[in-house]
Amino acid sequence: MKYFTTTSKASRRASDCVIVGIYNRGKLGIGATDIDTASKGLVRSLIKSGDISAEAGRVAVLPDVPGVKAKRVAIVGLGKSDSLDAIVMRKAVAATIKALADTKTRQILNTLTLEPAKGCNPYYHARHSVEAIGDALYRFDQMKSGRKKAPLPLSTIGHSIAKRGDARQSMLGADHGDAIANGVAVAKDLGNLPPNVCTPSYLGRVAKKLSSGNGKLSTRILNEAEMKKLGMGSLLSVTAGAVEPGKLIIMQYKGAGSDKPVVLVGKGVTFDTGGISLKPGLGMDEMKFDMCGAASVIGTMAAISRMKLPINLTVVVPAVENMPSGTATRPGDIVKSMSGQTIEVLNTDAEGRLILCDALTYVRRFKPAAVIDVATLTGACVVALGHHRCAIYANDDKLQAELFTAGDNSEDIGWPMPMGEQYAAQLKSNFADIANIGGPGGGSVTAACFLGKFTDGMSWAHLDIAGVAWKSGAQKGGTGRPVPMLSEFLLSRAGALP
């Protein structure tokens, strides 16, 4: 995709489509005002006749508007002018791309970037625009046979700026947005692939491929024998029932010499049947998304290495299948983690924490500046926060606040959650050091507390993304979250935000 900025008026710049916005009560945005003047009042008359609507996300595409150089004008509703924010902007841009789906639009000029939206300077305006377009253009049809619908041949995106001095910020936002949109697409693809294709070995191959031809990025993969040598008895207990071999994938990006790295750990359960504590059948297919934590940290690595950020980043993915079989772990089994702590496996469906705890112990060797694990960890998190915000746990208030802010700025939002000794006490076991479940109350919190027993002395956060990583129903598919939040966090840590 190519990007440009322009100070030209909406009507004066040639393109396949110019996007302008209108608000409730007949208020026109900056681009729409110009189009209205150039077309001798067309926009106002269409509002009056009720042929176009200012409702947020509504779009009318008008070809050959007199006085306008662009081939089409997309007039998009922005709702109430005083509640304009990045969410409305993203929705408007995405709706426009959907409305253009059957056209041959190659270049677009987005003038919505001139509107005064909350939390949007020229940088974030351009970034949100590019990310929202990337989201709207995304298709997953590689498993379908037969003729596929041709995608919109979009190749150039322009952003309107108020003054020449805004060009650098806008171009930087577009550049970062491009890398983040690409990382989101990587994560969506991995999530959407079926579990018979996206196995632990497949995740390893994708990680290897990302690092080939990138001098700053390298990938290593440990097999089960190597993990056994390291003492990862907890991780290996999850893969014990599976025929597909488990893998530990380690990606290292070196953009900042000898600085301590930020380490991202992603849960990579490529299919979660529950194991011997078998899940009910209804909707079990969705447990192919149980590797979305892994997908998001690999997608974030793709974004960060593409931006060439001056930061060191390490990504670690424990990748396994959780299957029932004669060799599977039983409820009641006691396993020994790499940290030395013994764990009573009371429920084999609480497997995410069993692979993460060994990965979290493993990453100590990197002396991390911060460790963030990302996991579709608990159904209880979905009950607590629904599908809008992920849960942000941390043993470091500053890190928790940083992630919260990164979520806000990137519109990939989270919410801070509590931990503490009272919750951790729910994990007591009569027979081992700890149990892998903490009873019916506060299931997302006790899962976080379990991980907290393996992160002493490190600055650590845990994102429970069970509610946000994918959508169910007619829209079923990976969302690529929290790639934008993590990218924003790393952009900020690298000092790369304007």
Binding to Mn ion by residue 178, rule CB under 5 A? no
Binding to ligand BES by residue 482, rule CB under 6 A? no
Please select the residue that binds ligand BES; options are 53, 103, 347, 492, rule is CB under 6 A: 347
Alpha-carbon span 198 to 204, nearest angstrom:
10
Binding to ligand BES by residue 242, rule CB under 6 A? no
Residues 130-149 that bind Mn ion (CB under 5 A): none
Alpha-carbon span 323 to 439, nearest angstrom:
23
Alpha-carbon span 189 to 475, nearest angstrom:
15
- The smaller minimum CB distance to ligand BES, of residues 124 and 450, is found at 450
Binding to ligand BES by residue 464, rule CB under 6 A? no
Binding to Zn ion by residue 272, rule CB under 5 A? yes
Structure tokens belonging to residue 154: 């979009």
Which residue in 279, 330, 336, 364 is the catalytic one? 279
Query: Is residue 353 flagged as an active site residue?
Result: yes
Q: How many residues interact with ligand BES (rule CB under 6 A)?
A: 16
483 in Cβ contact with 180 (< 8 Å): yes
Binding to ligand BES by residue 376, rule CB under 6 A? yes
- The smaller minimum CB distance to ligand BES, of residues 245 and 379, is found at 379
The 381-420 contact track toward ligand BES, x by CB under 6 A, reads: -x--------------------------------------
Q: Is the dihedral of CA 445, 451, 453, 456 positive or negative?
A: negative
Which residue in 13, 288, 306, 353 is the catalytic one? 353
| 468 Cβ contact partners less than 8 Å away, ≥ 6 residues apart | 387, 388, 389, 390, 479, 481, 482
Please select the residue that binds Zn ion; options are 290, 373, 402, 464, rule is CB under 5 A: 290
Contacted by 443, from ligand BES, Mn ion, Zn ion, none: CB < 5 to 8 Å by type: ligand BES
Binding to ligand BES by residue 349, rule CB under 6 A? yes
Least distance from ligand BES to the Cβ atom of residue 268, Å: 12
Please select the residue that binds Mn ion; options are 272, 358, 402, 411, rule is CB under 5 A: 272
Q: How many residues interact with Zn ion (rule CB under 5 A)?
A: 4
- The smaller minimum CB distance to Mn ion, of residues 320 and 449, is found at 320
Strand partners, 316: 250, 265
Q: What is the dihedral of CA 350, 467, 313, 320, to 10 degrees?
A: 30
Please select the residue that binds ligand BES; options are 38, 133, 181, 437, rule is CB under 6 A: 437
Rg (CA), the chain: 24
Please select the residue that binds Mn ion; options are 244, 349, 402, 412, rule is CB under 5 A: 349
- The smaller minimum CB distance to Zn ion, of residues 22 and 381, is found at 381
Binding to ligand BES by residue 352, rule CB under 6 A? yes
43 in Cβ contact with 36 (< 8 Å): yes
Q: Which residue, 489, 465, 487, is CA-closest to 191?
A: 465
For the annotated catalytic residues, the residue numbers are 279, 353
Residues that bind ligand BES (CB under 6 A): 272, 290, 347, 349-352, 376-380, 382, 437, 443, 466
